[in-house]
Structure 1
């Protein structure tokens, strides 16, 4: 029997479950389907890690239903929240949802969608993607996409930018998905709001020579002079074959690799100059390539500088680097070989040491959810498999996930279980990843029964908000239905408990065919999976 309850919307827009009122809190409503779609691009209860592919309207039935009911303004508010608060695994579902709202028959919905454009599309790449989605939705229809409302929204997107930030943006990402800034300025009939934006508009639509002719003899404002000087540097570096000059321009003006020519990137000295200001997230992705190309050599000043940045608390905080991100990067680097191509390298011990140090420091970036968690690790198999798409063993991945919750949540129990045996594990803040891994796998394996952690909590009177069950592969035998076990726990504890099963080596299998909104299956594991778990715990999906 389902627990009784009601669903209310708080002032912040979050969905809240009240177990004592009438109704059914676990129904998968259209609003819940919309939020799932915005979070990970599907309305189902399965999230597949690292699954790429374009989302379509076939996965957005809940969204379309809400639009049909005249609730478009609510849909736009949800889109804004998921994109602006970084709740989504990726931005593509939000862009498709916004495109759908922007051409809905109801005027209020269209107006709300265009008003939200700048907040959702925070960079040129996402703006181009939004325009392309509108084009695809209009294919087969006689009307075009460039009506007055879209022209104004795109014009406002450009006009409301800081001029220097816009100058950097248009030179780093000039075109994407068949669209360019030149296309958008022309088709939107943008009338620049000020002289600095007018300068950028002319640069994008007419080119640098036309800008020089127009502004060289004019008395320009300070802002225009700054933008003019910046664009001059970008043009200068594009036409320079002098390695020293290119390096000086990179260092003096903080230019990025997207603003350089392919030939420039053949130079080790240029890469070393770029590394100094490169975003930390980007540095972590190319450590293998930089080591392979001898740009980072053992004991060099560049390697020392990179190591200092990697383990700098200020740099980790600024880049919002998550522990799991560092674990994935570290294991990939340790592997000594890329997944694609023939790139190989000898891992540098000082870089590995810096990444290990950064892993533990980065836990400060994990914001507590404030719920009661049980993280249960199934040790019925050896846990020696590798999480698909990574170099991380399932044992190490399980240990890292357990650490994320044990270190950041005030109420968290970590359990290891197998064949009727269940052992509470002590995971403390001073334990290393290796120590936690050993703690999890020290009990002997047997057959799998994923209901054991739920039964343990129920029988021991521990109210749990979220059960996270980590297993190698979600094909198991169990003494009772996981759904029924969860319902019993809800009834006895009075908690709005949820159950997440994560098949670390799975590529697409759900725990059960259920319409219970509190159950979620994760196949594989990545940073997106942690975001999905967080959203489920906070009743956001």
Structure 2
């Protein structure tokens, strides 16, 4: 059998003035450097696209970002900080990568701006590990990086630092003790030096402040082999312990999850809905379910937690199907929680300002849109993501219409009153 030679459609072979060939083989207008930076920071490159690999996409974006860091460093750093702080990106990794580029390959002025912005972008232990990994891949450890990492440990309140180093213990082959040994931060007080000793050797010294020492002692008690679920729940409530310090065998008990839920950060709550349902904590009539729904319906808390719409959409897709994307367990979804996730998705777009103009959205419905994933979210295809965002536009604009295109243009039956799962499927 002779395989026919594939051709680019005629509509894609004739560029208009100012257009250039894109990854799909067609033509499009070139993005301005500032627009490309926004696209990279918000969308990232994880997973690549149907037409280009993740590695190629990252390389092209790195070149464009570096050019802007050289030509307009103040704008590039401030814009990176703004998008990171506002939670406009599904992941903070592109902002961390941009910061690493600025610190390692920028001019002295650019490196100074990056160092100043670091506390606003590198906010958690996970951010720190990712940032250090990017720096190491680009060039390696220098005096600037050692100083920046040292400051991350020196600027934080002791109780907050204790929380960060126990909640985010390691990632990508890095642990906090590794970073302390490489950065050599000079503790400004005996109390901070005692916490550094705990990080390196897990030694709980008497110099630690009472609250910090009690927090660390509770973690050590939780790790004892004879601790019961009831005792674990008491420790969690008394010291606001995070899930990451709880031994795996205790995370199969509803009472442990009930204790965790009372002070659980919003993103962790969204991420663990399936698990809490699977262990029997979240049922149609439980107090825990009412608490979860109240949190998901709290637009202000969603905003403060920088919850991204894609995080809610990913949780909805996973939770509603009653089984893990990677086969990790099954559960019976609670309808009221599904409803609350739908409401939370729209709440994360609460600050979308309508243009007041007549709008037509044309969604690509070709086969390639059902391939791959958006933002590294397993199960979230480009088709699902565009349908969800179209609903946001339909709810924000008074005169908006949606059509689909592949080989031809066709109407799509999307309505602003649709639930997310209806629009996606």
Category of TM-score, reference length = shorter chain: 0.7 to 0.9
Is residue 365 of structure 1 aligned with residue 348 of structure 2? yes
| Counterparts of residues 105-504 of structure 1 (less than 5 Å) | 106-138=107-139, 145-147=141-143, 149-209=144-204, 211-212=205-206, 215=207, 224-239=209-224, 241-312=227-298, 315-316=301-302, 318-319=304-305, 325-326=311-312, 328-341=314-327, 343-347=329-333, 351-360=334-343, 363-366=346-349, 367-371=351-355, 372=357, 374-376=359-361, 389-390=378-379, 400-409=388-397, 412-416=399-403, 431-433=417-419
How much does 1:361 deviate?
6.1
| Counterparts of residues 519-538 of structure 1 (less than 5 Å) | none
How much does 1:172 deviate?
0.7
Is residue 80 of structure 1 aligned with residue 67 of structure 2? no
Q: How many residues align?
A: 388
- Counterpart-to-counterpart distance in 2, 1:30 and 1:434: 34
Give the secondary structure class of the aligned counterpart of 2:400.
Answer: strand
Change (3 A) 1:377 1:277: same
Q: Alpha-carbon deviations, 1:12-38, whole Å to 9, x = none?
A: xxxxxxxxxxxxxx6534444444333
Change (3 A) 1:423 1:82: closer
CA contact (8 A) 1:83 1:91 kept: yes
Larger Rg: 1
Change (3 A) 1:97 1:281: closer
CA contact (8 A) 1:99 1:133 kept: yes
How much does 1:339 deviate?
1.8
CA contact (8 A) 2:222 2:232 kept: yes
- Counterpart-to-counterpart distance in 2, 1:75 and 1:417: 35
Give the secondary structure class of the aligned counterpart of 1:193.
Answer: coil
- Counterpart-to-counterpart distance in 2, 1:57 and 1:391: 24
CA contact (8 A) 1:335 1:391 kept: no
- Counterpart-to-counterpart distance in 2, 1:229 and 1:274: 18
Partner of 1:500: none
CA contact (8 A) 2:90 2:308 kept: no
> Larger relative contact order (C-alpha < 8 A, sep ≥ 6)?
1
Q: Alpha-carbon deviations, 1:215-239, whole Å to 9, x = none?
A: 3xxxx8xxx2222222222222223
CA contact (8 A) 1:250 1:274 kept: yes
CA contact (8 A) 1:328 1:392 kept: no
- Counterpart-to-counterpart distance in 1, 2:354 and 2:347: 15
Give ranges in structure 1 of 5+ residues lacking alignment: 4-25, 139-143, 438-503, 506-541
How much does 1:391 deviate?
8.0
- Counterpart-to-counterpart distance in 2, 1:59 and 1:81: 19
Change (3 A) 1:260 1:52: farther
Partner of 1:65: 67
Change (3 A) 1:426 1:397: closer
Give the secondary structure class of the aligned counterpart of 1:191.
Answer: coil
Give the secondary structure class of the aligned counterpart of 1:339.
Answer: coil
How much does 1:257 deviate?
1.0
- Counterpart-to-counterpart distance in 2, 1:270 and 1:174: 21
Give the secondary structure class of the aligned counterpart of 1:376.
Answer: strand
- Counterpart-to-counterpart distance in 2, 1:79 and 1:421: 37
How much does 1:133 deviate?
1.6
Q: Alpha carbon RMSD of aligned pairs, Å?
A: 4.1
Range 71-80 or range 257-266, more displaced:
71-80
How much does 1:170 deviate?
0.8
- Counterpart-to-counterpart distance in 2, 1:292 and 1:387: 28
CA contact (8 A) 2:363 2:403 kept: yes
How much does 1:54 deviate?
10
